[in-house]
Structure 1
Amino acid sequence: MEFGQLTNNEAYLSSFCKRVMKPSLEPLDPFIGNTQRKDFIPLLSNLIKQLPDKPHVFDVGGGNGEMVDLILKKNIPNSAYFTVVEPNSKMLQEYICRLEKANIRVNESFQSPVQDVYRKNLQKPADLIIAVHMIYHLVDWCNSNFTPDKELIEFIKFLYSQLKPRGRIFLAFADDEQGYVGQATVDYYRKKHDQIIVDRLNLLYKSQNQLLAAKGIEEYLTKEWPMHKPKLSIHKFDSKFFGETKDDLSAMALISGIIPFNEQPFDINKLFCTRQFIEENSESIGLKQELEPGERQYMWKSCQPQVVCVIEKGET
């Protein structure tokens, strides 16, 4: 069995890179393992087309720069310049290489968690800030000082402070209260009889939805920037994860808190646990085979809805 000989870091990469982000042959639907990017690409592309001349784009937790190849180099003006924050040095270098190949200028880059940048203002305010599926790394729910509202509010305030008037934040995240990955993560810790972690995860998922999907963050931004009141728009997508087998979907369910980031041997029982969850909850998580003709025909799919929150900074 593939996962039986892997470290935790290797197991995460196998679950995420080889499965969730498995490439597709279709340019408008770039990953066969998920529809999340396909679902939000039109919205983000439209925002990029509205950018002014010489726009400054700030990508937070940008990974290896997949967005450059998917959207940005096709739509963004050649005069654009970028600031990138990414804690992984290898991914950051790959991101910068992609920008250079696309003839897009790198303004600043930070190899660090985004929290380390809070006390540094960007050299120039941003026209567009992109934060795609990275908010899960903001809150350490294993820490006894767990405060999800406080940390999410601090993050959004930092981003808002770096925007020009009429600049926008594009923030995408999974609805973990409804998605099968979030539910599988809670189920895993429940079976471990770790009620403290179960309660923290449920609180985190609720906080994300209340502050972002339900626009709770608007109150905090308006209070701090009364002369630049925010305008929020919320976009919800019924996105899916796809696996060749149910075991693939079980592996993909590990990515949001079940696998720690270290070089210790991966515990194969975690995979058995998520497989059991999928079998026991097949109806509620929308477990089905795809019957539509195409690359995903006969693959197994499950519900992994996502929310995109667009926040525009008001003018005085």
Structure 2
Amino acid sequence: MNGIEQSIVRVEHLIKRYNSTVAVNDVSFEIKKGEIFGLLGPNGAGKSTIISILCCLLKPSSGRGTISGFDLEKNALEIKRIIGVVPQEISLYHTLTARENLTFYSRIYGLSRQMREQRIAKILEMVGLSKRADEPLQNYSGGMKRRINIGIALLHNPKILFLDEPTVGVDPQSRRRIYDTILELNNKGMTVLLTTHQMEDAERLCHRIAIVDNGKLIALDTLEGLMKFAGECDIVRVEARNITQKTIASLEKVDSLQKVSVDRDMMTIQLLRGREMLATIVDILTASDTKVDSIQIKEPDLETLFLHLTGTSLRQ
């Protein structure tokens, strides 16, 4: 991790309510300067609400936060000058070219003509679209549009970049390019906060990962540190018909079993030494008349950890 010093983002006991719904529930964390920090969780977990508050688009119901020493509620204008924001929804003019979109937004940022031309050329090269800069965006793939969306957030050379689900719905080539862009920016010292429900994003990019579910922060550490929570457990996934309470009750008698959950025709079994216990699991399923269509075993990963902490799979 390059150039990590003091914390550039601080969040303390953040709460956001919508009437009786608590979207963010007493969340606290810090992001260090020069860090790629990930908020990992399912859709509806509260990730986008957290990032919207940090971008000064929403006011918290209670709690406080600072970015580079500026208070979220008192210094919104100063914060907006030093952050770049890439929303989950692509916000571009599709009848304009990539260059025209970048030019339009650079004028909003107040860049001089000379600075505009320099920044636009550099950004087009960074996102790998220099050769197609003068094509209308309606000819672009979803991944290419998202790369331009990232470029727009970089026009004013922000200190910190917020990315909300940066790889959702993109093709593999664009995903790799987005990864390369984020890592290149970070290597040059930029702090990055990204939200994602994609395991690969968190594993490939983030120095530290905060796992969020139902508005709560339930774990925060490096990938290596988080994986220690998962211990030696394995996940057995069974696609089957006729999963009954009798089936579940029989499985719960297995000594090494930690959790079992069922979502329609998919059963997820978390247990120690899963490979050794696989034959026992199959015997129990057969004896309870469960019709097994497929069975697979997974070694510990972030999804295993999420299941371990919440009792549910990471929903998309």
TM-score, structure 1 as length reference: 0.32
Name the structure with the higher helix share: 1
TM-score, structure 2 as length reference: 0.32
Name the structure with the higher strand share: 2
Structure with more contact order per residue of length (Cα contacts < 8 Å, sep ≥ 6): 1
